[in-house]
A and B are shown apart, each in its own frame.
Chain A
Amino acid sequence: EVQLVESGGGLVQPGGSLRLSCAASGFTFSSYAMSWVRQAPGKGLEWVSSISAIGASTYYADSVKGRFTISRDKSKNTLYLQMNSLRAEDTAVYYCAKEDSGGYQRTSESLQHWGQGTLVTVSS
């Protein structure tokens, strides 16, 4: 059974940093692309970033480009999102999601499985 468990969320001041983690199990982690998707309170889903199966390719939404960094550790079966220069508008529940392939097409991949999310609050 695929399991994705996010952690690392919390309260941070504007301009601060936070690193989210997503522990994966139940599948061969190094064979699948992974993504982060966020949802501000009471709002819709927003794609944040994706990383290919072996980590060679990364993709970012314009709203986080240059501030967030996605990475993965095959030895720990863990996905990360390093978030710097945080703003109030980054406040959201952050979900990690497993894609259904290695992520090299970037046209046909679905967000097949989702974690339970971790809440990030940016406020002074």
Chain B
Amino acid sequence: EIVLTQSPGALSLSPGERATLSCRASQSVDAIFFDWYQQRPGQPPRLLIYGASTRAAGIPDRFSGSGSGTDFTLTISGLEPEDSAVYYCQQYSYSPYTFGPGTKVEIK
């Protein structure tokens, strides 16, 4: 089973700042099968990025994804108050399809 590790576990930033979230896989995965999700309090996860770098429909362009192999990054440029959430990475290159533990982003 592929284990995903996310860092940092949490970060607190001010509106307008940039957040850089990392996800590392225990072995190389195909970037085509790598997603990022956002989960706001009391809400289900929402797809942000698929294929490591493609924004899902309706996702603002301040969200961007990059990476390959074992290292992937989600960048949020110009944080907005509504970006306060937990962000999860997911790989589905290999079954079972696994998720990271999440990074909690707090907006000061």
A binds B: no
